[in-house]
Structure 1
Amino acid sequence: MYGMGLAKGLVVTAKNLILPSRMMTVQYPDRKVGLLGLAKATGEPITDIIRKDPLTAVKALLGLAEVKASLPQHPRFRGEEFSWYEQRCTGCASCAKYCPLGIIEIVTSESGDQMQEGQKYHLDKFDIDIGRCMFCGLCVEACPYDALHMGSGFEEGQYRRQDLVIDKRRLVSSKKKPSTWFRPQLASKNYDPQDGKNVKWDKAGRHEKPSLKEQQEKWAKR
């Protein structure tokens, strides 16, 4: 019968439009929020938002204020920005040696600082070309001191090719929100890089000094 196919198609369209269970559209990379949503996203009181930026406050009252949208993802997600702790790095270049694509370039010089494991090198250059990276994580597995961690972001696109090369300056200044992939010390603490907390360098390693209670439970009672 003519017209039945059209009617069935319109019914499906109407269901997707009306039923909340079928509304699959996710606002990204920005989402529009009201005044309460803006205060929650920025972490500032509503009064401070109105005082500092009245125009944005008016937009928020109309539900037109834009904030960055974040999609839920697993803590073990291997992101592209990398978290590097300079305090833990000895310049051994194990990450560069194990990289199957050769995208990590490290240039070191003698620092004269002697450590228990040997001399620590000064890093003159540390570049990671994420434009060629396949995020396999072998560099993270190879690091013997847990100085390099996978990141938690996934927006790799840039307008310029050279912006895809992460240099030492960007690695040092970047936020320290490492992925828990291949880092059981972070996973055991239920750390989630999406909650906004940075991890300090002395808490990012696997070889942490055990507490007195842990020593008693794991070693003293054997």
Structure 2
Amino acid sequence: MSGSDRRRGVIALREESCTVCMLCVRECPDWCITIDSHVERVPAEGPGGRPRTAHVLDRFDIDYALCLYCGICVEVCPFDALFWSPETDYAEPALGDLVHGKERLGEWLGSAPGAAQPDGQSASG
């Protein structure tokens, strides 16, 4: 395996697949992931159904100044919301600017191998 095949890059997020289960946060050895959410009531589907509640993702941040690039978060995600992307252009002039949110993580999804949408479409469209 060549060096380029082993490169990991950054972690990409498919926001619509995240259920806010918090497994990635709990398993991260350096606590570089921050998630905030709120609960919304979802109306009943069809006759005889009951309304339910769902967590809605408000914030998903990864602090790349702390990240070990170990991949535990990608491995433990049961809903295929996290992927390795080969992107390397995320340097910032200040350490505090290395915290990237769900919008930036979502942009990297388009270059992540294996991150095709569940319906078979590519992540970018």
CA distance in 2, matches of 1:88, 1:127: 16
The alpha carbon displacement at 1:89 in A equals 1.1
In the TM superposition, what are the counterparts of 1:56-135 in structure 2 within 5 Å?
Answer: 73-74=4-5, 77-80=7-10, 82-113=11-42, 119-135=53-69
Scaled by the length of structure 1, the TM-score of the pair is 0.44
Could you tell me which runs of 5 or more consecutive residues in structure 2 were left unpaired when the two chains were aligned: 44-51
Give the match for residue 201 of structure 1: 117
CA distance in 2, matches of 1:162, 1:201: 32
Task: For CA contacts below 8 A with separation 6 or more, give which structure has more relative contact order.
Answer: 2
The alpha carbon displacement at 1:79 in A equals 1.0
Structure ranking higher in strand proportion: 2
Scaled by the length of structure 2, the TM-score of the pair is 0.74
1:140 aligned to 2:74? yes
The equivalent position to 1:149 in structure 2, one of 71, 83, 94, is 83
User: Is the CA contact 2:38–2:56 (under 8 Å) kept in the aligned structure 1?
Assistant: yes
Q: Percent identity of the aligned residues?
A: 32
1:168 aligned to 2:102? yes
CA distance in 2, matches of 1:174, 1:112: 30
The alpha carbon displacement at 1:144 in A equals 0.2
User: Is the CA contact 2:18–2:81 (under 8 Å) kept in the aligned structure 1?
Assistant: yes
Structure ranking higher in helix proportion: 1
| Greater Cα radius of gyration, structure 1 or 2 | 1
1:177 aligned to 2:107? no
Could you tell me which runs of 5 or more consecutive residues in structure 1 were left unpaired when the two chains were aligned: 1-71, 180-185, 187-198, 205-222
Q: In structure 1, the residue corresponding to 2:111 is in which secondary structure?
A: coil
